[in-house]
C-alpha cells in the first residue's frame, strides 16, 4: 500500500497573508479531494532559522513602522541582481538549518508562500528534489525574491504580477495567473445584508462602515474612526482592532456619536464584510482580495511602503476603491458614496468583476494534477 502524497507549505508569520494563503489552499485541497493528500505547514523562520532570523515574525510589526527605512530597503534589494546578492549572503546563515528543515519535512510536493523561503528551500532541496511551486501573495509590487528560475511553477494573483515576473526573466511557461487564495468563508455569495446585520446586532437602517487594520490593528485606525464618527454623517461604524488589545480598550472607553461596534481579533470577518456597505482598511493584499469577493467598496487609509505600494494603484485603476491617506479624505470618500449611491454601485460592480473567489480551488487543482502526473510517472500502470 502506497502512502498518500504529502504537500509541505513553507510560510512565515511576517504579516498574516502568508499563513492565510496556505490555509486557504489546504482548505480547498480537503474540500476537493478529501483525504487523498496530506498537507503540512512549516514556519521556516521560527522553526529552523538561525537566532536573528528566527525572531523575524515577532519583529515584523515593529520593523514596518519604520516606514522610510522599510521602503528604502525594499526597493534597494528589489532587482534580479540584488536578490541574488541577498540570498547568497543569507545562505551561509541558513544553509544548515534549511537542510535540516527539508530533511525533517519530506514532501512529494513543496509550496512556498513566502519570498524568503523560495531560493533558500530550493538550495536546501538540491537537484534531486520534489516538484517546487511558488504561490505569490503580493498583488502587484512583487519583490524579486519571489522568483527563482529553478522552481517548477509560479502561481500569481494578478496579470501585473505576471508581467513583473517576466521582467525578472522568469520563463513564461512556468507562470499562471490564478488570483490570491483566501478562505472559503470569504468566497460565499453576499446574501441578505439586512438579515446578516440583524444576526450581528447591527442597525439595519443605516449605512455600515467596517474599519480594519489587519491582524495587528495597524495604521491610524483610531484617528480615522474618530473622524468618521465626528463627520456629521449618520451611519454605523464597526471597528476591528485585531490583536491590538490596548487599542481596543482605548476605543471602548470613548463616547461615540453614532452606533459603534468594537471588536478584537474575530473569526467573523467574512460576515462583517458581507454585512457592511464600505470597508476602510490598510492596503494588505489579503484584505483587499477578501473585500473584492464580498463586493465591498474599499477605502485605503494606509499601506506598508514597498510591497503594498502597488496595491493602492491596483484598487484605484480597477475602480474598486479609493486611496485616502488622511482621515478627512476618508470622510470625503464616504460622504460621496453615501450621497451618490450610483457611484458606489459602480464600485460594487467593479469589485464583482475583479474578484477571484475560485483562486484557492484553482491552486488546489493545479497541485493535485502535478501530484497525479508524478504518481503516473512512478507507476505507469496507474494510467493504463
Domains of the chain and any CATH numbers: 6-182+357-383 (3.40.50.2000), 188-354 (3.40.50.2000)
pLDDT tens-digit series, residues 343-384: 999 999 999 999 999 999 999 999 999 998 766 655 554 444
Confidence band for 303, pLDDT divided at 50, 70 and 90? confident
Q: What is the pLDDT of residue 72?
A: 66
Average the pLDDT over 54-73 and give the result.
59
pLDDT tens-digit series, residues 155-213: 999 999 999 999 999 999 999 999 999 999 999 888 899 999 999 999 999 999 999 97
Helix ranges, the chain (H):
17-33, 44-48, 51-54, 56-63, 67-76, 80-104, 115-125, 159-167, 193-200, 221-229, 245-252, 269-275, 285-293, 309-317, 327-339, 341-354, 359-378
- Is 222:66 a contact under the CB 8 Å cutoff? no
Amino acid at each position: 500500500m502506497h502512502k498518500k502524497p504529502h504537500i509541505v507549505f513553507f510560510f512565515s508569520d511576517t504579516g498574516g497573508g502568508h499563513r492565510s494563503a496556505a490555509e486557504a489552499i489546504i482548505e480547498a485541497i480537503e474540500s476537493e479531494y478529501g483525504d487523498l493528500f496530506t498537507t503540512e505547514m512549516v514556519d521556516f523562520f521560527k522553526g529552523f532559522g538561525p537566532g536573528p532570523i528566527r525572531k523575524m515574525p515577532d519583529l515584523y510589526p515593529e520593523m514596518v513602522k519604520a516606514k522610510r527605512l522599510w521602503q528604502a530597503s525594499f526597493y534597494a534589494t528589489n532587482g534580479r541582481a540584488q536578490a541574488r546578492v541577498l540570498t547568497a549572503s543569507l545562505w551561509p546563515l541558513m544553509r544548515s538549518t534549511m537542510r535540516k528543515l527539508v530533511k525533517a519535512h519530506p514532501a512529494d510536493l513543496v509550496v512556498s508562500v513566502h519570498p524568503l523561503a523560495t531560493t533558500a528551500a530550493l538550495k536546501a532541496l538540491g537537484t534531486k528534489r520534489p516538484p517546487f511551486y511558488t504561490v505569490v501573495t503580493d498583488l502587484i509590487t512583487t519583490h524579486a525574491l519571489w522568483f527563482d528560475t529553478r522552481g517548477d511553477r509560479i502561481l500569481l494573483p494578478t496579470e501585473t504580477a505576471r508581467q513583473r515576473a517576466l521582467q525578472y526573466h522568469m520563463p513564461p511557461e512556468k507562470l499562471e495567473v490564478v488570483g490570491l487564495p483566501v478562505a472559503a468563508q470569504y468566497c460565499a455569495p453576499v446574501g441578505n445584508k439586512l438579515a446578516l446585520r440583524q444576526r450581528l446586532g447591527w442597525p439595519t437602517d443605516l449605512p455600515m462602515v467596517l474599519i480594519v487594520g489587519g491582524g495587528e490593528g495597524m495604521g491610524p485606525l483610531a484617528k480615522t474612526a474618530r473622524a468618521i464618527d465626528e463627520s456629521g454623517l449618520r451611519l454605523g461604524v464597526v471597528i476591528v482592532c485585531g490583536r491590538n488589545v490596548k487599542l481596543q480598550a482605548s476605543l471602548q472607553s470613548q463616547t461615540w456619536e453614532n452606533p459603534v461596534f468594537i471588536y478584537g481579533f474575530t473569526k467573523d470577518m467574512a460576515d462583517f464584510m458581507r454585512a457592511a456597505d464600505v470597508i476602510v482598511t490598510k492596503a494588505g493584499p489579503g484584505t483587499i482580495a477578501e473585500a473584492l469577493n464580498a463586493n465591498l467598496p474599499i477605502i485605503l487609509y494606509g499601506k506598508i511602503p514597498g510591497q503594498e505600494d502597488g496595491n493602492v494603484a491596483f484598487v484605484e485603476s480597477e475602480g474598486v476603491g479609493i486611496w485616502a491617506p488622511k482621515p478627512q479624505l476618508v470622510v470625503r470618500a464616504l460622504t460621496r458614496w453615501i450621497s451618490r449611491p450610483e457611484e458606489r454601485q459602480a464600485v460594487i460592480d467593479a469589485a464583482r468583476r475583479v474578484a477571484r473567489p475560485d483562486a484557492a480551488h484553482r491552486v488546489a487543482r493545479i497541485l493535485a494534477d502535478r501530484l497525479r502526473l508524478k504518481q503516473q510517472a512512478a507507476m505507469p500502470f496507474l494510467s493504463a
